[in-house]
Amino acid sequence: MSPLPHLIVRSVDDFVTFMATHHDFDEQELKLLFSQVSRLEKTTKSLKNPAEKRKTWLQYRDIFLDEARISNGVKFWKENEESLEKAEKLYGVPEHIIVSIIGVETRYGKVQGNHRVLDTLATAAFHYPGGSKRRTKLFYDYLVQYLILCREESFDPLSLTGSYAGAMGMVQFMPTPFRNVAVDFDGDGKKDIWGNASDAIGSVANYLNDRGWLRAEPVFSRAMTSSPVRESLVSNGIKTNLDLGLLKSEGIEPVSFFSGRVTDAALYEFEGQAGPEYWIGYRNFSTLGKYNPRIKYMMAVAQLSEEILTRWHSMH
């Protein structure tokens, strides 16, 4: 995969020249394609102020842990039990985690976004709010990968729709992970993450496995505290940079115990109904952050997965 040098791309014309030179695209065809692209103001506004920043944890939690998402998660699990079981065996990712991610991302495929992916990626690549060089380059790269994947999969670049940021399908993959880890899980010759639940399930599991998911290891636990928690112990990132033994020496114990070798941990503070709550995230919780590095997102996936698993067990 050729990197996209940030400095050479200052306009759509530069981008077209780059794609023709480095990836063997037809320059005239690309110029015609980009003449049909629209700048989306919604993309610009939403990138500047995503929901994870706008909403408190309790507001965010209420969106993703509602009754409909739990009950429909159980329904999705039942309808796709064979694919989910196969994915867990092959990739080591628990079925309820896969279901939860698809539930948080798109309500099990019901809300996939209706923005043309090419419009959103081009808007972010050429008009990123605030002019962030790092984010601009990221979306340049996504735009490159998007055009390549459309060529590889015989997709019309103007036909695919997704989120305000260009995420696609039931699993909301950006173009790069699509090319790297999307799978044809049912063997029909197509990687269809839009309408094929089996491909979506296999792709989520392959993504997490590729990012380091640890088979049969825990994800997270509520923490018990016996004394005030030192602020320096609380993490704001996805890395597990503390030892579980250190937390225990500080009077912080996981409520849920497990048998395993995992000692890497991170401590998180969330607002609860009755004050601060503390949670311990293990390396698999950190791996959820590689799907989306927002702590609220990671916790929503983890908590929804537990709710779905509890409901599933109560019915079986």
For a pLDDT cut of 70, what percent of the chain falls above it? Answer: 95
| pLDDT above 90: residue 305 | yes
30 falls within a domain = yes
User: Choosing from 105, 153, 250, 277, which is the catalytic residue?
Assistant: 105
Domain count of the chain?
2
State whether residue 224 is helix, strand or coil.
Answer: strand
Same domain, 161 and 33: yes
299 falls within a domain = no
Residue 225: CA count within 13 A, CB half-sphere: 14
Same domain, 224 and 116: no
Structure tokens at 219: 């994800």
238 falls within a domain = yes
Q: Which residue from 165, 115, 159, 171 is spatially nearest to 138, judged by alpha carbons?
A: 165
Q: What's the pTM value of the predicted model, to 2 decimals? A: 0.93
Same domain, 11 and 140: yes
Query: Do 82 and 205 touch, CB atoms closer than 8 A?
Result: no
Summarised one tens digit per residue, pLDDT across range 223-256 is 999 889 999 999 999 999 999 999 999 999 999 8
Same domain, 36 and 123: yes
Whole-angstrom Cα distance, residue 84 to residue 242? 32
Average pLDDT across the chain, whole number? 93
**Average pLDDT of 193-215?**
98
Summarised one tens digit per residue, pLDDT across range 15-62 is 999 999 999 999 999 999 999 999 888 787 778 777 667 789 999 999
Query: Of 210, 237, 266, which residue constitutes the final position of a domain?
Result: 210
Residues 6+ apart with CB under 8 A from 72: 103, 107, 108
185 falls within a domain = yes
For a pLDDT cut of 90, what percent of the chain falls above it? Answer: 83
Same domain, 264 and 139: no
Same domain, 177 and 247: no
Residue 41's pLDDT is 82
Residue 54's pLDDT is 75
Same domain, 116 and 156: yes
Whole-angstrom Cα distance, residue 100 to residue 310? 13
Residues forming a β-bridge with 281? 220, 266
Summarised one tens digit per residue, pLDDT across range 133-180 is 888 899 999 999 999 999 999 999 999 999 999 999 999 999 999 999
Range of the domain at 117: 6-48+112-210
- 105 catalytic? Reply is yes
Task: Please report, for the domain that includes residue 189, its CATH number.
Answer: 1.10.8.350
- DSSP 8-state code for residue 230: P
Residue 52's pLDDT is 63
Same domain, 231 and 133: no
147 falls within a domain = yes
287 falls within a domain = no
15 falls within a domain = yes
